């Protein structure tokens, strides 16, 4: 699924959101390492990301050819500052209507609207792929993200009080949210 869009952010800066491609592998891995070190709201720690540049490039090439999954990069001033992706919940027909997505943005760029643009790109791509439900999990303490998702129409459908076990914060409650497309 091909995608590229340039948007003007709140501060007037131009942001390009496009498909991540194999040649982005090294930069994307670096950004993932940084974003996962900067916040305790993401699924994993930097040392848990075990793929190398070659494996990442292969994965990005496969995703680029996919009709129903996508990986985006957000580029500001020529460098990747965030990423997002839409993945199928499962390959079985009973699950074919559902997708999940996630977003990460470098903390130095929070509050600029990059997360909103990435989210909207994911929603648009999920619709174009034929999904009728987009899902996510968010740490209950991540008020910025919860507010963003609620404004977009996502609704809470459950909570897991011990969804994450953070090395720094102990158990973190996860909020399960969904959007009908």
What pLDDT does residue 47 have? Answer: 87
Distance separating alpha carbons of residues 129 and 98, to the nearest angstrom: 11
Rounded mean pLDDT, 167-175:
96
For the chain, list the domains and their CATH numbers: 4-133 (3.40.630.30)
pLDDT tens for 107-116 read 999 999 999 9
pLDDT tens for 41-56 read 999 998 888 888 899 9
Residue pair 3/64 in contact (Cβ under 8 Å)? The answer is no
pLDDT tens for 90-109 read 999 999 999 999 999 999 99
């Amino acid at each position: 699924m091909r995608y590229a869009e340039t948007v003007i952010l709140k501060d007037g800066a131009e942001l390009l959101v496009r498909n991540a491609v194999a040649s982005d592998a090294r930069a994307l891995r670096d950004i993932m390492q940084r974003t996962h070190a900067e916040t305790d709201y993401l699924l994993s720690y930097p040392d848990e990301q075990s793929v190398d540049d070659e494996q990442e490039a292969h994965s990005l090439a496969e995703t680029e050819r996919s009709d129903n999954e996508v990986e985006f990069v957000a580029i500001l001033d020529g460098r990747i500052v965030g990423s997002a992706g839409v993945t199928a919940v499962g390959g079985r027909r009973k699950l074919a209507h559902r997708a999940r997505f996630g977003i990460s943005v470098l903390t130095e760029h929070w509050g600029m609207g990059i997360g909103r643009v990435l989210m909207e790109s994911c929603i648009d791509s999920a619709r174009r792929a034929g999904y009728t439900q987009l899902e996510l999990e968010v740490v209950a303490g991540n008020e910025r993200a919860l507010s963003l998702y609620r404004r977009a129409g996502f609704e809470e459908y459950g909570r897991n009080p011990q969804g994450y076990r953070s090395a720094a914060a102990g158990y973190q409650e996860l909020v399960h949210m969904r959007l009908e497309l």
